[in-house]
Chain A
Amino acid sequence: MTPPPSRPASKPNGTAAAAEERMLKKLTEEMGELVKAVTSLADRALEESAEARELAREDRATIYRLIEENVQAREAAAAAAERHSEEALAAFRARRADTPRLPVMASVADDYDAAERLEQRELVLTYDAWRTMLGRTGTASMFQADREFGDDDDPDKIWILAGHFEETGRGWTLVVTTEDGKVAEADVPAGERPPRVVVPVSLPRVSQIRRLEIRDGRGYPLYLGLGPALQTQNRQLARGGLPVARADDEDR
């Protein structure tokens, strides 16, 4: 028995190779198409994404605008409601003239004008000085003064002998009120130390002084004057033992 005859290796068939080549070509073409499609999709997605961002930007601006419009509308509505409320209240008050008024709403001190406020400050200053004259400690609001009568060419003067201050301040004014209601103001020299402070006063006579004040630059009373300047016949009394004259006979 003989082995079967060997069969020669088959030669490449020209038809199969061509088919294989065609298949490769086809696959390549499909891949190219696929790549194109994917690229196209990617491009479109990019375009759409850009559009979306643009749209979002526009939408945000719109939202902000709407919020702003809403706030404005609310404010306008509130203002309108307030006006309406005030008009309604005013109309109500006009109709009900007998409606009792509420008590004062804010601090009552706000109801006083500048002159009345000055009066209040003067009262407090007087109280402080009164306490001091009674020998209390803890108050610091007075000065002691004497007066000096001038001649025809020389005005009367007020001497500040001692005070609750080391030296006079800037802008201080001495206010002298006499018994007959005359008021004179004079600038107090700044930076002077008692008892060397002398203030010429442009009054015919500074006898019978009722009140003596030092005020600051704003016109607020700072210190109240006491002592010999406010005493009648003080020179005679100062020497001691002389008869007390009536106030009308003050030294001239």
Chain B
Amino acid sequence: MFRTLERLLRDPTLTSPPPPPPPTYNPGVFQIHPYQLSQWLEQVWAFAANATFANLSPQTPFLGDPNIVPALALPTGPQTNPFDNGLASGIDQGGPGWAPGFYLPAAPGENVIVSGNSLALPWEHLIYAYVIESTGIVEIFAEIVRRFAVGETLETPSVASQMWLRATEELFFRDPPLFHLTGLTSLLRPDAQIARRNAYWRLLGMDVPHQVRPLPGRRVHAGQPWKQDVGIANVRFHELWLDLLRAVWTGYENALNTSGPNPTDPGYIYELCWYIQDMLQMRRKGGNLARDEYVHISTMSWFHLTVERDTPIVIDLRAMGTDPADRLMKLGERVGIRPSPRARELFEMADLVSAFIRFIEVGYFKPSTVPSLYATASTLRTDVVRIIDLWEMSTGDSIKADAVRLSGQPRPRDQHAQSSRSLSAPARTPRPSQTHAHTNGSGVTVTS
């Protein structure tokens, strides 16, 4: 969400052309008071109940049950909300028709009257948070904030970095304000890391690839507490997801065939989309995981935004770089934590895979629209092919090789049923090299 906010501060209507490289960013998002940011999250959440997001018919509810949004939102009226003026965050996104709201400190010590939100916003899918957290970014920034808070082992922070440090600690390493949407932790689930892993496991059936790093003062967790009392988790998601990517790749490879056999199977691709959609929606019955998803993706987007550009904290720690993974690597070196070696692929993939899985989940793919994934050039096809590349690079899951197989042989589903269920762990099943073959559409089989 915070990356969206940063874009909105630059381009309130989201209709400006993309800026020429190098991409600029608005540092204002890190200068906003954390209470305003928290309110902005409440505002965006509440606003989602009043908008449609590029609806196609028939579209299933965005979050499992549309009533979950008003059910969990703060009261909005001046007479009913005991906290503030109707959820107005005071963050100026521009746009038409908005009344003044809160005060936004444009510069330290200076307040200006600004207006509020005018555009209903969707948010990323939970898999975005999973992919970003798999880079190790949370552990690195937790240690950075801790070092700045307890001593002077790092550089003296600038005022801009002080604002970032304060907002980060308030928003993500402290219990949120009472009764607010972001308050996921409690006496019953005190650790946000465990809460996130619990959500990943339930919805995606996958674990974050690194160990839980206990925060100072928190007990060390034994085993995998996020899997306790879960009941049903989508443990087949990984297997179906890989099958889907393989089937789409087969379609992409053969999209231009004018002669010879074409193993593309649109019906099978639709079936996989439908299975995944059904699986994800089952975990969202009654609005389950909606709030968790919103809070977790907001958390990850804050850290993602921090390393997306040379932000004040990155500059102060002399971690400037050319891409988020580069900056994260340098930040990790400062505090002795090494991020995932596949961090670059993970950062690139997070956005893409989030939108694609959201589209699958809300049921946009039908038998008639499945060819959009591979047959004709479009942003969608470009993104899906990029996801295939990046997923294979970051996980080691074999996708492209398995997309070509002996005609008449079964799909390699069974071979990968026991495959890894985390991003960076190596695939446990060796590549079945003896059964790999390429027919190249000629019927002549070449065993690799």
Interface locus among B158-166, B167-175, B233-241, B370-378? B370-378
**Distance of B391 from chain A, by nearest CB (Å):** 18
Chain A residues with CB under 8 A of B118: 227-228, 238
Q: Which of B5, B77, B257 is A106 in contact with, Cβ under 8 Å?
A: B257
Please state if A244 and B262 are interface contacts (CB–CB under 8 Å).
no
Q: What is the chain B residue whose CB lies nearest that of A138?
A: B18
Q: Is A224 an interface residue when CB atoms closer than 8 A count as contact? A: yes
Near A by CB (< 8 A), chain B positions 144-182 give none
- CB contacts (< 8 Å) of B365 on chain A: these are 123
Chain A nearest CB from B86 CB (Å) reads: 2
Which residues from A are CB-within-8-Å of B336?
none
B-side contacts of A123, CB under 8 Å: 56, 364-365, 369, 372, 380
Say if the beta carbon of A172 comes within 8 Å of chain B: no
Please tell me if the beta carbons of A211 and B55 are within 8 angstroms of each other in the complex: yes
CB distance from A194 to the nearest CB of B (A): 8
Interchain Cβ contacts within 8 Å, total number: 193
Q: Which residue on A lies nearest to B375, using beta carbons?
A: A109
- Please, what's the 1-or-0 string for A101-126, where 1 marks a CB less than 8 Å from any CB in chain B? 01111111100100010011011101
Does B343 count as interface, using CB distance less than 8 angstroms?
no
Give Cα A138 to B352, complex, Å. 13
Check B119 against A137 for contact (C-beta < 8 Å).
Answer: no
CB neighbours (8 Å) of B358 from chain A are 130
Flag whether B255 is at the interface (Cβ < 8 A).
yes
Nearest CB on B from A249, distance (A):
12
Which of A6-14, A37-45, A140-148 contacts the other chain? Answer: A140-148
Whole-angstrom distance from the CB of A158 to the nearest CB of chain B? 14
Scoring B residues 231 to 271 as 1 if CB is less than 8 Å from chain A, else 0, what string do you get? 00000000000000000000100011111111110100000
- Consensus secondary structure, chain A interface: mixed
Interface segment out of the listed B42-50, B208-216, B393-401, B416-424: B42-50
Select from chain B the residue with minimum beta-carbon distance to A116.
B368
On chain B, the residues within 8 Å of A195 by CB distance are 96
> Which of chain B's residues have a CB closer than 8 A to the CB of A131?
355, 379
Q: Are B15 and A163 in contact (CB under 8 A)?
A: yes
Cβ-defined contact, A124 with B259, below 8 A: no
Identify the interface centre among A106, A107, A109, A209: most chain B CB within 10 Å of its CB. A107
| Bound-state Cα–Cα, A164 to B18, Å | 11
The answer to whether the Cβ of B57 comes within 8 Å of any Cβ in the partner chain is yes
Contact stretch, chosen from A20-28, A69-77, A198-206, A229-237: A229-237
Contact flag A120-B368 (CB < 8 Å), given A228-B97, A240-B98, A240-B101: yes
Interface residues on B, range: 35 or more
In the bound complex, do residue A232 and residue B98 qualify as a contact, i.e. CB atoms below 8 Å apart?
A: no
Q: Closest approach, in angstroms, between the C-beta of B98 and any C-beta of chain A?
A: 6
Dominant SS among interface residues on chain B? loop
Taking a contact as CB atoms closer than 8 A, the residue among B23, B77, B354, B371 that contacts A109 in the complex is B371
Residue of B86, B376, B379 near A120 (CB, 8 A) is: B376
Chain B residue numbers with a CB within 8 Å of A252 are none
A103 engages B97 (CB within 8 Å)? no
Are A244 and B359 also in contact (CB < 8 A) when A106-B258, A108-B371, A228-B97 are?
no
Q: Please name the residue on chain A nearest to B79 by beta carbon.
A: A243
Give the docked Cα–Cα distance between A118 and B76 (Å). 40
* B70 nearest CB neighbor, chain A only: A244
Contact of B98 with A126 in the complex, beta carbons under 8 Å: no
Residues of B within 8 A of A129 (CB): 54
Encoded as 1 (CB less than 8 Å from any B CB) or 0, chain A from 61 to 105 comes to: 000000000000000000000000000000000000000001111
Most buried by A among B19, B23, B119: B119
Residues of A within 8 A of B15 (CB): 142-144, 162-164
The residue from A134, A137, A233 contacting B23, defined by CB atoms under 8 A apart: A137
Give residues 336-379 of B contacting A (CB, 8 Å). Answer: 351, 354-355, 358-359, 364-366, 368-369, 371-372, 375-376, 378-379
Choice from A103, A120, A130, A240 contacting B372 with Cβ under 8 Å: A120
B86, A144: Cβ atoms under 8 Å?
Answer: no
Whether B88 pairs with A240 at a CB distance below 8 angstroms is yes
**Smallest CB separation, A140 vs chain B (Å):** 7
User: In the bound complex, how far is the Cα of B1 from the Cα of A222, in angstroms?
Assistant: 27
Chain A residues near B124 (CB, 8 Å)? 134
Known contacts: A120-B368, A123-B380, A142-B14. The answer to whether A244 contacts B49 by CB under 8 A is: yes
Q: Which residues of B lie under 8 Å from residue A238 when comparing CB positions?
A: 96-99, 118
Contacts A164-B15, A241-B87; is A135 near B263 (CB within 8 Å)? no
Q: How large is the interface on A (under 10, 10 to 19, 20 to 34, 35 or more residues)?
A: 35 or more
Q: Are B50 and A231 neighbours in the complex by a CB distance under 8 Å?
A: yes
B7 to A, closest residue via Cβ: A135
The answer on a CB contact under 8 Å between A130 and B53 is: yes
| Contact across chains for B23 and A243 when beta carbons are under 8 A apart | no
Query: Which residues of B, 3-36, contact A by the 8 Å Cβ criterion?
Result: 3-8, 13-15, 17-19, 23
Contact of B122 among A102, A133, A241 (CB under 8 A): A133
A106 / chain B contacts, CB cutoff of 8 Å: 257-258, 262
Residues from chain A with a CB closer than 8 A to the CB of B375 are 107-109
CB interface residues, B 61-100, toward A, < 8 Å: 70, 76-78, 80-81, 85-88, 96-99
Choose among A120, A230, A240 the residue that contacts B116 (Cβ–Cβ < 8 A): A240
Q: Which residue of A lies closest to B73 (CB)?
A: A244
Q: Which A131-169 residues sit within 8 Å CB-CB of chain B? A: 131-140, 142-144, 146, 161-164
Q: Kindly state whether residue B52 has any CB partner on chain A within 8 Å.
A: yes
Given contact pairs A123-B372, A136-B351, a sample of 17 additional A-B residue pairs in the complex whose CB atoms are under 8 Å apart: A104-B262, A109-B376, A120-B372, A126-B56, A127-B364, A133-B14, A134-B124, A135-B8, A210-B57, A211-B57, A227-B119, A231-B120, A233-B50, A234-B50, A235-B97, A241-B87, A244-B49
The residues of B with any CB-CB pair to A shorter than 8 Å are: 3-8, 13-15, 17-19, 23, 46-47, 49-57, 70, 76-78, 80-81, 85-88, 96-99, 101, 116, 118-124, 251, 255-264, 266, 351, 354-355, 358-359, 364-366, 368-369, 371-372, 375-376, 378-380, 383
Query: Which 10 pairs show the lowest CB-CB distances between chains A and B?
Result: A241-B86, A135-B7, A137-B18, A135-B4, A238-B97, A109-B375, A116-B368, A162-B13, A124-B378, A231-B51
Contact sample, A vs B, 17 pairs, CB 8 Å cutoff? A104-B264, A108-B251, A109-B255, A112-B368, A123-B56, A123-B364, A127-B378, A127-B379, A133-B14, A135-B8, A226-B120, A227-B118, A232-B50, A233-B50, A239-B99, A241-B78, A241-B87
